[in-house]
Structure 1
Amino acid sequence: MFSHFLYLLRSNGLKVSLTEWMTLMEALNQGLHGSEFTGFYHLCRALLVKTEADFDRFDQLFLLYFKDVPFEEEVSQELLDWLSSRDIPEGLFDEEQELLNQSLSDEEIEKMFRERLNEQTSPHNRGRYWIGTRGMSVFGNNGLSPRGIRVGGSSKYRTAIRVAGERRFRDFREDTTLDLRQFQVALRRLRQYTGILNSAETEFDVDNTIEDTAQHAGMLTVRYRKPRKNAVKVLLFIDSGGSMDYYSQLTSALFQSVSKTNFHDLKVYYFHNCIYSRLYTTPIIDPKHSVPTDWVLTNLSSDYKVIYIGDAQMAPHELVGNYYMGGNGKPSSGVEWLKLLRERFRYSIWLNPSDRPEWGEYWSHSYDVIESIFPMFPLTVDGMEEGMKKLLRA
């Protein structure tokens, strides 16, 4: 059944084994797809796709093969059309409704959303109950609720718990940020091994064991070598607070991943918006827990691999103006500090969880300036991998 679909997946790089395919056939025989096309899609993806990085490729091939089968979407086009009007004035903010919306659990919101989808028969906006826009409802877009499910429209306040009708892993290789596991996989690329001097040969040497065993006519000859250690030293600078609060979960995952990777040395410092005369040892940006930036420039060798994490968005005067008076020959602007760090640490990249701002030159200015100083990569699977390669060949 659907054997051509199996061959299509395989010919396009998805490694589907016969065991996995027969498991899918057994699941279909047991009715685990619920006799629904949507259920069949989810069952196929769960059993045939091994990594989230292949979800988008699978979706494209699935839609290509089953293009003539009507696919039931979560949100109807009629409802999306109701929510696309741009001339609806903003509703009134209701503090009592705000508290009520905040008290709802994600499960309660999901249940209520399914009920509204079945009940709603006409457009409703500036309200608190139906799926609409500009109101206090927990469903719709461009509303005033502190949390809810976005339906249509574009992100504005970033308070949605999810986006209805959106594929969770849309184009995962290029535009979806990483989680803890993907960070760890990407960071493994940042390795330069060296043998530990004056140490015993205690590490099993697979290649030489095979070669020597073959040379001795199959008689097992075990070989050992001195243990190797990752010689890479990493310096991590993380933007904390303000607009970066939205990415706090992401940066936390990165910090955990870096901490679990066996680098020769790892030092982590925090800053807010831009680096100035002090760096902080905690994300709270507390002066009591800080070190002079000069100390880092003077005491850390230039062979550190430096990774900056930040959205590169701030008021232009914070970056290029003499906002922070240096004195005594010290830099007086953020851009001067960044250039000084770039000169000291040649192996540097900037990972950005955000796209370049498109809402005006004022906010995109700092992004462009920082991108001109550091090689900048998006904080995605492909961006992370390219960044690690850049650090090793800089």
Structure 2
Amino acid sequence: MFVEFLYELRDRGVKVGPQEAMSIAQALRLGLHKGTLDGFYETARALCVHREQDLDAFDRAFAHHFRGVPDEAIALTEELMEWLQQPKSRRELTELEQQLLQRMDLDQVRQQMRERLAQQRQRHDRGNRWVGTAGTSPHGSGGTNLAGIKVGDAPGGRGALEVAGERHFKDLRSDVTLDTRQIEVALRRLRAFVREGAEEELDIEGTIDKTARNAGELELKLRPPRRSNLRVLLLLDVGGSMDPHADVCERLFSAARRATHFKELRTLYFHNCIYGRVYERASLMRGIDVLHLLQDCDPSWRLIVVGDALMSPWELQSAGSRWSWTEDSGAPGIAWLAHLAQHFPHSAWLNPEREISWYGTAEIIRRVFPMYRLTQDGLLEAVHHLMRGGARR
């Protein structure tokens, strides 16, 4: 009954597989769905949806598969909401006009709205019949009818019998700006463990094997404990065009500092481009020579650079920083970026700007570093790349 439904979920981007199929089968065998379709909906959603942004995709798949609601109906709903955007200003009615307005009960209003939607083909404003804005019709938004169905978000007379399709939340997305918890969850995947140190942990499988080879006489086998061996170098662009993104960068910095699975984390700063030095403070004081930094950080470190990659083209070609008269590394900024990318095979650039603005200098830097947008999806992709390395993005 539900196998085809699982395939439809996968077609809509919901990550389900054999494990979810077995879990649903077991839940049905135990009767957790209580023999109803609504119960199956709640059970399947609890077992199949692992990310908040998949809730809407699950609802659409369920409505299509079990209730026959086509995707075209959702498109019609979106078209109707477009008609109701930016409502016209409404005319205030006299007391007599308000008394003359037809008043119906909720069932009558619902039936009339179904009939109007079946006939309506375009937007309407200030009318008394169609679903529109600023009118006396009992269907729409921003109108003056005291006993209708409100559609859309525009404010009205606050006397509606019902709000059509009312939802107290927006569609959940994964391409929006991150909060600290989402960053922590994503960074938790950035981990690598090795066994090192004294042999003080019991190796159960090794003990069983040794005992079996020793004719059943118990022989314990110990092994070094499993510890994190991941070191991360975080380089943050500060000042100038990065000021509007200061909040999300602070959240990233906070989440990285709170992470307990990094063996070592170093956070340094730069402005626009790296010209041979990076800094321990966001005020760009106490500079560290990049060559000395590379001596301290071997290629096993993961490099994360955060910046909008927006600057004047000559800043990539300049051998010195435009905000420091004393710095002249003898090499252009793009050469230093290429040197960092070559030294750290596991590196990624996180860009808080939308991809549509990744042109000019951002396009050049993108050829050096794999670049990802600083959103939940982008950070997860960057973490996956940092763990496996490989080709540039």
Using structure 1 for the length normalisation, give the TM-score: 0.58
2:189 matches 1:186: yes
Asked if the contact 1:308–1:349 (Cα under 8 Å) also holds between the matched residues in 2, the reply is yes
1:357 aligned counterpart, secondary structure: helix
Name the residue aligned to 2:133.
122
Distance (Å, rounded) in 2 between the aligned partners of 1:65 and 1:250: 42
Residue type of the alignment partner of 2:361: S
Provide the rounded CA distance (Å) in 1 between the counterparts of 2:9 and 2:219: 40
Aligned to 2:229: 231
Q: 1:79 aligns with which of 78, 81, 92?
A: 81
**Cα distance, 1:165 vs structure 2:** 8.2
Equivalences for residues 1-394 of structure 1 within 5 A: 3=2, 8=7, 13=17, 15-16=19-20, 17=23, 18=25, 20-21=27-28, 25-26=33-34, 43=42, 46-49=45-48, 51-52=50-51, 55=54, 58=58, 61-62=61-62, 65-66=65-66, 68-69=68-69, 77-83=79-85, 121-122=132-133, 167-169=171-173, 175=175, 179-188=182-191, 191=192, 193-196=194-197, 199=198, 201-216=199-214, 221-241=219-239, 242-243=241-242, 245-246=244-245, 248-249=247-248, 252-253=251-252, 255-257=254-256, 259-276=258-275, 278-282=277-281, 285-288=282-285, 290-294=286-290, 296-297=292-293, 299-303=295-299, 304-321=301-318, 324=322, 329-331=328-330, 333-358=332-357, 364-378=359-373, 379-390=378-389
Residue 219 of structure 1 deviates from its aligned partner by 6.2
Distance 1:168 1:54 in 2: 5
Q: Write the deviation string for residues 296-345 of structure 1: whole angstroms up to 9, x where unpaired.
A: 53652433332212332334344445662676751475334323433554
Deviation at 1:47, TM superposition (A): 1.6
TM-score with structure 2 setting the length: 0.58
Coordinate RMSD, CA, aligned: 4.7
**Whole-angstrom CA distance in 1 between matches of 2:335 and 2:363:** 15
| Offset of residue 237 of structure 1 | 1.0
Gaps spanning 5+ residues in structure 2: where?
11-15, 89-130, 136-140, 144-152, 155-166
Moved more, 314-323 or 67-76: 67-76
CA shift digits 1:196-245 (9 cap, x unpaired): 2xx3x211223312323443566664421122443343211123454464
1:287 to 1:10, Cα distance in 2 relative to 1, 3 A? closer
Q: State the AA in 2 paired with 1:265.
A: E
For residues 312 and 221 of structure 2, the distance between their equivalents in structure 1, rounded to whole angstroms, comes to 60
**Aligned amino acid, residue 205 of structure 2:** D
CA distance in 2 between partners of 1:340 and 1:326 (Å): 23
What is the CA–CA distance in structure 2 between the aligned matches of 1:331 and 1:243, rounded to whole Å?
26
Over 3 Å counting, the alpha-carbon distance change for 1:212 and 1:180 in structure 2 is: farther
Rg comparison, structure with higher value: 2
Q: Secondary structure at the match of 1:286?
A: coil
Cα 1:252/1:352, change in 2 over 3 Å: same
Go from structure 1 to structure 2 and tell me whether the alpha carbon gap of 1:287 and 1:355 turns closer, same or farther (over 3 Å shift): closer
* Aligned counterpart, 1:107: none
Structure 1, unmatched stretches of 5+, are 34-39, 89-119, 132-138, 141-162
**Counterpart-to-counterpart distance in 1, 2:267 and 2:310:** 21
